[in-house]
Amino acid sequence: MDAILPVLLFVAVAAAVSVGLVVVAEAIGPRRSGAVKEMPYESGMDPVHDTRRRFDVRFHLVAITFLVFDVELLFLYPWAVASRSTAGVDAAVAEGLVSSRGLVFAGAMAFTALVVVGFAYDWRKGVFRWR
């Protein structure tokens, strides 16, 4: 019971603070409403067109390009941290999981080269050019 008491206390305080903030905001918050506040708003654009209109394909291309480079960073950051520490890649080589540090580096560089090829393709197709 002594081990779970701090967790229960933390949950109780978090719930009390959450409920307290909502109650205080309702009690002392302004209640002015108007036509502008009642109007829907999304993604920084006023809703002046039909909600089912199509987005330009460039929007989707930029979003996909962002995801590609974001995923690249997600894969390369742990590799960079592991290659700097002595317990990372060196430990994997010592345990026989990888034959050498050079193989790990070559794999990371091959991955980076593929992403650079994707970047060049996007550039060539004009994804980054806004008209």
pTM summary value: 0.48
Map residue 45 onto helix, strand or coil.
Answer: strand
pLDDT grade, residue 4 (50/70/90)? very high
With respect to residue 50, please indicate whether it lies within any of the assigned structural domains: no
| Domain count across the chain | 2
With respect to residue 14, please indicate whether it lies within any of the assigned structural domains: yes
Instruction: State how far the alpha carbon of 50 is from the alpha carbons of 10, 36, 43, 47, 53, in Å.
Output: 47, 18, 15, 8, 6
Higher pLDDT, 109 or 61: 109
- 74 is in which domain, residue-wise? 57-125
Q: Which of 11-25, 58-72, 110-124 has the lowest mean pLDDT?
A: 58-72
pLDDT grade, residue 42 (50/70/90)? low
One domain for residues 66 and 115: yes
What share of the chain in percent tops pLDDT 70? 85
With respect to residue 36, please indicate whether it lies within any of the assigned structural domains: no
